[in-house]
Amino acid sequence: MDLLTSFGPLLLGLLAWGLGLAALAGRRRGLCLLSLGCCAAALFLVILHCGVQLREGDFAAIEDTWDAFTLCAAVLLAGTLALAGAAWLRGQRKG
């Protein structure tokens, strides 16, 4: 579980941006939904990781990493929404 909650968000975040870029480069707007789903799954795994640390009583680790988690979540969400929005707008123009 620790490996999944540690590397899972990173891999899912990269996949979210990769799918967003693929949707932007091509005409497949359906990839936007997959991109947003990967982003949501990555953020959920971060919450699970914090839950594991809480159950272990490792409050110092949560306190040390909370600001980084918050910043990374904001960047991931903003980037994914920007890519999905740009791909959706591009698809609307090309009809």
Q: How confident is the model at residue 10 (pLDDT cuts 50, 70, 90)?
A: very high
Cα–Cα dist 51/60, whole Å = 13
Checking if the pLDDT of 37 tops 60, the result is yes
- Cβ atoms of 52 and 68 within 8 Å: the answer is no
Write down the pTM of the prediction: 0.87
Question: Rounded to the nearest 5°, which phi and psi values hold at 26?
Answer: -105, -165
Per residue in 51-89, pLDDT (tens digit) is 888 999 989 988 998 999 999 999 999 999 999 999 988
Residue type, 57: G
Please state, for a pLDDT cut of 90, what percent of the chain lies above it.
Answer: 62
Q: Average pLDDT over the chain, rounded to whole?
A: 90
**Any idea where the domains of the chain sit in the sequence?**
2-94
Q: What is the pLDDT of residue 95?
A: 56
Question: Rounded to the nearest 5°, which phi and psi values hold at 27?
Answer: -110, 25
Q: How confident is the model at residue 12 (pLDDT cuts 50, 70, 90)?
A: very high
Alpha helices in 26-58 (DSSP H): 30-56
Sign of CA dihedral 47, 52, 55, 60: negative
- Cβ atoms of 88 and 29 within 8 Å: the answer is yes
